[in-house]
Structure 1
């Protein structure tokens, strides 16, 4: 039996959740039962394939501390997570014309509900839409702030980019936190809490960034794959000693999805 339950704070950042969208707008609340309408994400899929480096699954390995020539000082920061999680080509993306690609796709995705009302889509198609919009918008903002030496203030400070209302869908101004907590978690999360694994945040303690877009026909498989990768990595969970389970504090951000957070 694993007890007590402890949360890693040395590696991962303090949990933060703030979203201003109090209730789920009517335009986002319903769904189609047997609709065969689908949304194509070929442009986003291709962009992710050329900008995300897939490093594969964690083997729970640790990077050895590195020391420079002529010094006894060794670097040990995050050695247990340094070899984990996919990487994003920030430097190359910023140098190339690709830096505007995510913004263009985000603006295009915002217009989709004007052409196909979201309420006419089946739930899996809606979920894929929100996850892709979130991912595209997040990467757009991280690219704008690159180079980033610490994401703690950027993500969880008083002016968190997660709270910035720069996304507009059907006349509603939305933040990244609105999409995660007040749309996806409220509409999909209680029945399928696995949606928590669709929200990469650009830091080491969050779920992985996939090198592909989410697709309605396989979105739950993709989320299950994210979840399996996360919990089987040092970033997500670690067992130390005989009775201590350490978790990423990302789980505190998903507390609303659990009936009994501590026990669950």
Structure 2
């Protein structure tokens, strides 16, 4: 018997057509309206149940959206990017200048139109509807985990998109409680208002023993784990977690060495109470996903310390574009199609001129140069996933503990 599939709907037409959301209906008996358990802990309702239903949630539309607006940056070469040169006639550097700017995938927030942002809101509401119509705790464990990861990441992408542009999400407030991003109440499931931190620390971390779950959660910042270009599902969640762990552990964001200590990301400090009883547990976890050169670094340093966390937004422009835009005019209603520069081009050219932002162009050029260096060194720069997520009869995906 095939599992029943619930569809959370977010339709994506093409690169030039906005996302169009439609309501998703879950043909399941409504979950209990009670948000409290017998011991008074409202989060008990999210503990995975012993008896489970063989159902799954279809994230195909979110999958398509991620492929559209997530820019892959490739693997880390473990070389900090040098500070970029200022533009001609100015000392100011527009765009990203972090030494980590070539690590971790980016969300192209500057390309998200109001229609697309509204569609993200509708999709987040669809996921909430699924979570409130179906008792998530009764799904197979991988399906539960995929739901919480996708809900977390959709909510973060939507929250940042609605407030964009910004340079550091941590310096803005979001949600119904007007809090910083990680503590902002962005979704409501089972009568409980949830923040990204709630999903991580009160639902997933206490109920999944494998520490690689920490690499699933996108925080909107360069310093955190990379956002995947593929939606998590019950079938692929174990693989994508390992992929995220490998990328992060082998990046400068994850591990550096200076000052006589192994400097590791502060995300491990957050996860430490749940997964690492001592620093040797953490060391063993890092070594599991490290390349040979990083393994040597991990073994060489006796002391482990938490590094500075890069809080810059993981976008293409660092929140603000270069004012020296190049407007490429095309024939249209607005004018005669005369090439020009500056804001006045809007009055002379088409109503929809093609705009090239020098900050984005520089980042993409640096990305191309990095990927070329990686290719010459024999470092894998991408991953191809075959199949549609279905398994043969009697075959099941590996369950994340």
| 1:59 equivalenced with 2:114 (yes/no) | no
1:258 aligns with 2:279: no
Contact 1:238–1:247 at 8 Å: present in 2 too? Answer: yes
* Distance in 1, Cα, partners of 2:75 & 2:81: 15
Please list, as runs of the form range in 1=range in 2, the aligned pairs for 1:168-183 lying within 5 A after superposition: 168-183=188-203
Corresponding residue of 1:199: 217
**Do 2:46 and 2:137's aligned partners in 1 also have CA atoms closer than 8 Å?**
yes
Q: Which residue of 1 aligns with 2:104?
A: 85
Name the Cα RMSD after superposition: 2.6
Higher relative contact order (CA 8 A, sep 6+): 1
State the partner residue of 1:234.
252
Offset at 1:83? Answer: 1.2
State the secondary structure of the residue aligned to 1:38. strand
- Show the counterpart of 2:185: 165
Could you tell me how far 1:72 is from its partner in structure 2? 8.8
Deviation at 1:33, TM superposition (A): 5.2
Distance of 1:74 and 1:142 partners within structure 2: 23
Is 1:245 the counterpart of 2:262? The answer is yes
Secondary structure of 1:215's partner? coil
- 1:37-186 equivalent positions in 2, closer than 5 A: 37-68=55-86, 69=88, 77-79=97-99, 81-93=100-112, 95-154=113-172, 159-186=179-206
Q: What's the secondary structure of 2:263's corresponding residue? A: strand
Q: Using the alignment, how far apart are the partners of 1:200 and 1:154 within structure 2?
A: 17
Cα gap change, 1:254 to 1:72, in 2 (>3 Å): same
Aligned 8 A contact 1:86 1:210 in 2: yes
Shift of 1:220: 1.4
- SS of the counterpart of 1:208? coil
Higher helix fraction: Structure 1 or Structure 2? 1
Q: Specify whether residues 255 and 40 from structure 1 end up closer, same or farther in structure 2 by C-alpha distance, changes over 3 A only.
A: same
Structure 1 segments unaligned to the other structure (5+ residues): 1-21
Q: Distance in 1 between matches of 2:212 and 2:170?
A: 25
Contact 1:27 1:118 in 2 (8 A): no
- Give the count of matched residue pairs: 237
How far does residue 196 in structure 1 lie from its aligned partner after superposition?
Answer: 0.8
* Counterpart-to-counterpart distance in 1, 2:276 and 2:104: 29
Q: Secondary structure at the match of 1:213?
A: coil
1:172, distance to aligned residue in structure 2 (A): 1.9
CA distance in 1, matches of 2:97, 2:132: 47
Post-superposition offset of 1:45: 0.9
Shift of residue 113, structure 1, vs aligned partner: 3.2
Q: CA deviation at 1:77?
A: 4.7
The answer (yes or no) to whether the contact 2:42–2:192 under 8 Å persists in 1 is no
Between 1:31-40 and 1:230-239, the stretch displaced more is: 31-40
* Greater shift in the superposed pair: 43-52 or 55-64: 55-64
Quick one: structure 1 residues 237 and 164, their matched pair in 2 at CA, closer, same or farther if it must change by over 3 Å? same
CA displacement at 1:92 relative to structure 2: 0.6
- Write the distance in 2 (CA, Å) between the matches of 1:84 and 1:155: 26
Inter-CA distance 34–26: structure 2 relative to 1 (3 Å threshold): closer
